[in-house]
Structure 1
Amino acid sequence: MSRPPRPSPPPAEPQERAVGGPALDTAGLVVPAGAARPPAVTAISWLVADLDTGQVLGGCGPHEYGTPASVQKLLLAATMLPRLDPQQVVTVTDGDMDIEPGSSAVGLVAGGRYRIETVWLGLLLQSGNEAANVLARLGGGPDGMAGGVRAMNEEAHRLGALQTHAVTPSGLDGKGQFTSAYDLALIARACFADPTFRRYALTEAHRIPAQPAQRTKGFEIQNENQLIYRYPGALGGKTGFTDLARHTYVGAAQRNGRRLVVTLLGAEPQPARGWEQGAALLDWGFSLPRGAAVGRLVEPGELTASAAATPSVLAATGEPRPAAASGPLEDGLVARWPVAAVVAAVIGLLGAALLWRRRAGRRRPS
């Protein structure tokens, strides 16, 4: 099917592509030995993992860069849910309503007063982009929405999602905004560890209150994620779509004491919609025996802690080097500068020592 031109991703970093295990460093299919072939999907990349053990059951191009669309709202949730009081009443500003015309909105109004819990439900049920702006602004501190996006990137770094860089809080396309199927699994795992998120993700409907001062009536919203209605054991997730990203999806379910998550990037809705492709991959994952894996999801803070090790230790253990929270270093210049400085200093010291020896030799009696 015809697609709009894909944005150019950042240069591939070998250390980042090996996060979770060397088998995940592939643009193709990776499944456990002897496993049945997974169902065919239209997604450019995908991954299935165990939410509890962190085992990666399989994937296709798990570390390939992709455009997130609204599944980026999960990173916003992972970042801001611990920061914001759900019972606090907040006022929506004109700036919060600055979203792309025709893009997904829940129906909040400037000047309206809403509980933060209502804003979260507007974000997760109806993918409201204005709701994303509100939450990023509130959680961003003195810098407002910009601070919120910066906090999202810091959280991605902490989780080990080194290929993720947020530019907008909502997932509306922005230059340099990327993620990967592996990173989305890390982010989803953090979300599903939060009981408040789990409750929101399974909420089927919520009423947005009337705003008499703005002369707007109340109305009801429904959860757009069809997985919760049609897949036994569904735990929820998030849908996404933009012209550039195409269809993106994150979904989770439980069966026989196992909780699995599936992530998809760059899918087309035919012959099956994103949630249906996710459901088929979940079925495949549940069919695998426990312990079958091709890699693992790193733990929050694990890669940050390994950055404190010396370079020789990192090289010896094969631990990946974390990227800057703001994204990959441009041309690697920041990373190479300290090495060049050390080399120059060593050369200077050797030259000074040689000059001293020559002068001392001239003064020594024959």
Structure 2
Amino acid sequence: MRVRAFSVAVVVLAIVATPATPGMAAVTDRAAMSSVSTPTAAPVAVPCPKAVAPKVTRSPRPTPPPSDPEHQVVGGDLLATPGLVVPPGAPVPPKVTATSWLVADLDTGAVLGGCGPHEYATPASVQKLLLAATMLPRLDPQQVIRVTREDLDIAPGSSAVGLLPGGRYRVETLWLGLLLQSGNEAANALARLGGGPDGAAGGVRAMNEYARHLGALQTHAVTPSGLDGPGQFTSAYDLALIARACFADPTFRRYALTERTRIPAQRGLGARGFQIQNENQLVYRYPGALGGKTGFTDYARHTYVGAAERDGRRLVVTLLGAEPRPQRGWEQGAALLDWGFRLPREAGVGRLVEPGEWDVARTPAPPSPAVPAPAGAPPVSSTTSAAVDDRPGAGLFVALTVGVSAIALAVVAARRVRASRRPRG
């Protein structure tokens, strides 16, 4: 009995003393994340086909944050490249001036190809799509609101619809002004309306929260309009996620395809009504166009998001950092859409993650049920345990302590068994 008890104790000691594999928790966490996989080796970047753009004087671009390896592989390992990624045997994509771009299927979520899909860039007015994706479900389009002077606090010379302080407009009018004319004052008003007690600041915070929910982990909004702000970035992949959320909304699709609308007169302010047109030329010039959004700032240069349908297939293109010559942004987008429609339906190099997928993947597992201590065992101080765990070699110390205790308990148990077998007088 003594040998058997000692053997059991040694087994307990061996199990307890076995060190945990470094990084095991991280590996388990990644395995549960279908949206993220860790690249096994850094691929050699294939140069993207580039069109030669005329030399322009441009503002120095802001310094992006350091790249997070996990964010680089959202949607698939092949997307973690600053260069070109296309399916095997695919035709060479058209030459564009954009520094990064991506083409994806709106319905299946398949990424058909891209250039630096996870490279940071500044968004300009395509950021208004994130505002739309966030606020469209929150706001009643028929509600009439009053525009404030704070709403008109935009950069001089930047795009505006022509809303007046004190003017009364339906929310739907604000959306049309935002998407057709890229109105920055409309963006401020919509962010204020949807931001709760914190106004526009609350609206921007909601935009960032929704971006993370979509899996757009490289997107950080500072302004609701896309006017440049320190720390404001996105990526071609993130824009595709945001665009997919927008085009899933039938109200957005109707707004995005509207060719013209009328801004109502403000009789109390002595102002006449006027007409505005959709600035996205894809709507007029590309068969099957579904709409999208244009953008430009000195930092961002030209940015573009566009979508179209052909033979029952809906594709979206996103591009960042483009120059308007030899082709304007929408024309570069149209050329990339043509390229995407030529690919087989089963082609792909990655996928657009589903809304909420990142949230589920990052949710920590519930704690394991506590194992009751042996009867008569002294209580363990949580403060003392935490202090011991932080010291070098603490794991070995705890393992030896538990092992010795197990041996002692086994020996005591063996003695009790022998004592119980002795004849009593």
Determine helix, strand or coil for the equivalent of 2:131.
helix
1:197-243 deviation line (CA, Å, top 9, x unaligned):
00000000010001112221100000000000000000000000000
What code does the residue aligned with 1:161 have? A
Give yes or no for the alignment of 1:78 onto 2:124. Answer: no
The alpha carbon displacement at 1:341 in A equals: 8.5
**Would the alpha carbon gap of residues 347 and 111 (structure 1) be closer, same or farther in structure 2, given more than 3 Å must change?**
farther
What code does the residue aligned with 2:68 have? E
Alignment correspondent of 1:360: none
Match 1:104 to one of 145, 156, 159: 159
Alignment correspondent of 1:225: 280
Match 1:344 to one of 390, 397, 407: 390
Counterpart mapping for 1:21-170 below 5 A: 21-170=76-225
Unpaired stretches in structure 1, ≥5 consecutive residues = 312-339, 358-366
Match 2:290 to one of 211, 215, 235: 235
- Distance of 1:342 and 1:280 partners within structure 2: 63
- Distance of 1:155 and 1:342 partners within structure 2: 41
The alpha carbon displacement at 1:154 in A equals: 0.4
Match 1:287 to one of 320, 324, 342: 342
- Distance of 1:38 and 1:310 partners within structure 2: 43
- Distance of 1:343 and 1:76 partners within structure 2: 46
Counterpart mapping for 1:272-311 below 5 A: 272-309=327-364
1:136-157 deviation line (CA, Å, top 9, x unaligned):
0000001000000000000000
- Distance of 1:19 and 1:343 partners within structure 2: 34
Determine helix, strand or coil for the equivalent of 2:390.
helix
- Distance of 1:353 and 1:86 partners within structure 2: 64
- Distance of 2:175 and 2:84 partners within structure 1: 35
- Distance of 1:342 and 1:305 partners within structure 2: 33
What code does the residue aligned with 2:75 have? G
TM-score in terms of structure 2 length: 0.75
- Distance of 2:393 and 2:148 partners within structure 1: 59
Determine helix, strand or coil for the equivalent of 1:220.
strand
Give yes or no for the alignment of 1:171 onto 2:231. Answer: no
**Would the alpha carbon gap of residues 240 and 347 (structure 1) be closer, same or farther in structure 2, given more than 3 Å must change?**
same
Paired residues of 2:184 and 2:225 also in contact (CA < 8 A)? yes
**Would the alpha carbon gap of residues 111 and 285 (structure 1) be closer, same or farther in structure 2, given more than 3 Å must change?**
same
Paired residues of 2:307 and 2:314 also in contact (CA < 8 A)? yes
Alignment correspondent of 1:267: 322
What code does the residue aligned with 2:60 have? P
Alignment correspondent of 1:245: 300
What code does the residue aligned with 2:98 have? A
Considering only CA atoms, is the larger Rg found in Structure 1 or Structure 2? 2
The alpha carbon displacement at 1:46 in A equals: 0.0
Number of residue equivalences: 330
Give yes or no for the alignment of 1:186 onto 2:264. Answer: no
Determine helix, strand or coil for the equivalent of 1:48.
strand
What code does the residue aligned with 1:176 have? G
**Would the alpha carbon gap of residues 48 and 352 (structure 1) be closer, same or farther in structure 2, given more than 3 Å must change?**
closer
Paired residues of 2:289 and 2:309 also in contact (CA < 8 A)? yes
**Would the alpha carbon gap of residues 214 and 294 (structure 1) be closer, same or farther in structure 2, given more than 3 Å must change?**
same
Alignment correspondent of 1:315: none
The alpha carbon displacement at 1:350 in A equals: 6.8
1:167-204 deviation line (CA, Å, top 9, x unaligned):
00000000000000000000000000000000000000
1:221-272 deviation line (CA, Å, top 9, x unaligned):
0000000000000000000000000000000000001000000000000000
The alpha carbon displacement at 1:4 in A equals: 2.2
Determine helix, strand or coil for the equivalent of 1:150.
helix
The alpha carbon displacement at 1:342 in A equals: 9.2
The alpha carbon displacement at 1:5 in A equals: 1.2
What code does the residue aligned with 1:344 have? D
- Distance of 1:289 and 1:50 partners within structure 2: 11
Determine helix, strand or coil for the equivalent of 2:324.
coil
Unpaired stretches in structure 2, ≥5 consecutive residues = 1-54, 367-385, 404-425
Instruction: Quote the RMSD (CA, aligned, Å).
Output: 2.1
- Distance of 1:349 and 1:297 partners within structure 2: 42
Counterpart mapping for 1:308-323 below 5 A: 308-309=363-364
**Would the alpha carbon gap of residues 48 and 91 (structure 1) be closer, same or farther in structure 2, given more than 3 Å must change?**
same
Determine helix, strand or coil for the equivalent of 2:222.
coil
**Would the alpha carbon gap of residues 343 and 283 (structure 1) be closer, same or farther in structure 2, given more than 3 Å must change?**
farther
The alpha carbon displacement at 1:353 in A equals: 9.3
- Distance of 2:113 and 2:389 partners within structure 1: 44
Give yes or no for the alignment of 1:205 onto 2:257. Answer: no
- Distance of 1:189 and 1:40 partners within structure 2: 25
- Distance of 2:128 and 2:285 partners within structure 1: 23
What code does the residue aligned with 2:170 have? R
**Would the alpha carbon gap of residues 234 and 114 (structure 1) be closer, same or farther in structure 2, given more than 3 Å must change?**
same
